[in-house]
């Protein structure tokens, strides 16, 4: 299942546009803008999706709740028996928490194939940590018991094994960004994890502390990367917290309320190095004109990228195009532009007026 893939250019453009954004609301809104649009494969479509998203090297289903050997398709749950009897579709965010709404119901990023018996034990309890929880024995992974994490009145929780804690933390971060505009029903235990303000999704103090701990201790694995690439091939969206885990720190953690720094995105590999590193060689025919609210580029080389910067040096926008003529709408102000293509670049400066 090992896959190493280049982040698509459209996602690099999306990530580049995050530079300078600051605060949970602004960052989550921006992430929602490009993560939320994806293909809904439907609840029944999950079964066949697992043939590519959740397979181990030996062809068995990769189950985060057990070490059982499951053959894709053959061992799907109907009636659930003992541990290792069948695998089910486990909503890491229980359906009762969002009223079984679509597309959340079939979003592959949070619906994992898991042992049916352990799935039932987890029920709709929140994830957490417990010192003396009950494990179902044999090949079962995880345990159910009273929360021992911090001083939060959470009650009964299900604790997954350490290997998958970061996976699940980043899953919850993704769900908040992807469904930032959804007003979950917050039924039952969901109220202990999610918060809502003007129909905007958020995490409770308990969930923030728990999931930040987990994502820091359990870094992104090859399993997560491979699973994401397979999901991207099906849903056509990505989990930005797998691509760039530091985003969680800017929203909830130790970089909270700091503007997102370019160097963090470059270090994560989600954007290319600064366009200024490219040699300055002019394109002979390239022409720029500015009009009311627009800047127009004519005679662009093929596969060009246009980096738009404010006068303070903050990246405002990245436009990638195969067209030779492009117009970009901009608020009034002075901007620097760098056009890159074919390993060369040309710089421009222009005043855009209303």
In the 8-state DSSP scheme, what is residue 305? E
Distance CA 3, CA 253 (A): 29
- Residue 303's pLDDT is what? 81
Average pLDDT rounded to a whole number, residues 168-188 = 89
Q: Average per-residue pLDDT in the chain?
A: 91
pLDDT tens digits for 243-257? 999 999 999 999 998
Q: Range(s) for CATH 2.60.40.10 in the chain?
A: 275-352
pLDDT tens digits for 59-108? 999 999 999 999 999 999 988 989 999 999 999 999 999 999 999 999 99
Alpha-helical (H) ranges within the chain are 9-16, 24-35, 45-53, 116-122, 165-178, 205-217, 222-235, 240-243, 246-251, 262-268
pLDDT tens digits for 191-201? 999 987 767 87
Please confirm whether the linkage preceding 103 is cis (ω < 30° from 0). yes
In the 8-state DSSP scheme, what is residue 292? T
Q: Does the domain spanning 275-352 belong to CATH 1.10.730.10? A: no
In the 8-state DSSP scheme, what is residue 306? E
pLDDT tens digits for 17-61? 898 889 999 999 999 999 999 999 999 999 999 999 999 999 999
Distance CA 5, CA 223 (A): 13
150 and 206 Cβ atoms separated by less than 8 Å = yes
CA quadruple 51, 53, 56, 57: dihedral sign:
positive
pTM of the model: 0.81
Report the run of H or E that residue 298 belongs to, with start and end: strand 294-298
Distance CA 200, CA 195 (A): 8
pLDDT tens digits for 97-123? 999 999 999 999 999 999 999 999 999
- Residue 19's pLDDT is what? 86
């Amino acid at each position: 299942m090992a896959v190493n893939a280049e982040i698509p250019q459209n996602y690099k453009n999306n990530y580049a546009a995050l530079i300078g954004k600051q605060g949970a609301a602004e960052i989550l809104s921006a992430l929602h803008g490009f993560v939320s649009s994806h293909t809904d494969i439907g609840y029944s479509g999950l079964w066949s999706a697992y043939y590519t998203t959740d397979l181990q090297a030996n062809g068995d289903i990769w189950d985060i709740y057990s070490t059982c050997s499951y053959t894709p398709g053959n061992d799907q749950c109907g009636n659930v028996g003992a541990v290792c009897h069948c695998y089910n579709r486990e909503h890491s965010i229980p359906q009762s928490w969002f009223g079984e709404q679509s597309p959340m119901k079939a979003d592959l990023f949070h619906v994992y194939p898991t042992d049916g018996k352990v799935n039932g034990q987890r029920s709709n309890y929140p994830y957490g940590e417990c010192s003396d929880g009950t494990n179902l024995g044999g090949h079962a992974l995880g345990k159910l018991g009273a929360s021992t994490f911090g001083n939060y009145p959470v009650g009964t929780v299900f604790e997954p094994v350490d290997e998958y804690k970061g996976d699940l933390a980043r899953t919850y971060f993704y769900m908040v960004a992807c469904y930032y505009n959804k007003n979950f029903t917050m039924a039952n235990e969901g109220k202990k994890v999610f918060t809502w303000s003007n129909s905007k999704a958020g995490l409770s103090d308990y969930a923030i502390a728990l999931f930040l701990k987990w994502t820091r201790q359990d870094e992104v694995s090859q399993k997560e990367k491979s699973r994401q690439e397979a999901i991207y091939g099906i849903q056509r969206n990505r989990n930005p917290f797998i691509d760039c885990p530091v985003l969680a720190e800017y929203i909830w953690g130790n970089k909270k309320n700091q503007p997102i720094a370019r160097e963090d995105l470059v270090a994560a590999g989600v954007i290319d190095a600064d366009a200024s590193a490219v040699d300055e060689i002019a394109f002979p025919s390239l022409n720029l004109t500015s009009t009311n609210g627009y800047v127009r580029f004519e005679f662009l080389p093929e596969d060009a990228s246009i980096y738009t910067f404010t006068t303070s040096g903050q990246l405002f926008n990245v436009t990638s195009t195969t067209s030779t003529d492009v117009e970009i709408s901009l608020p009034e102000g002075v901007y620097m532009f760098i056009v890159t293509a074919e390993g060369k670049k040309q710089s421009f400066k222009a005043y855009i007026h209303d």
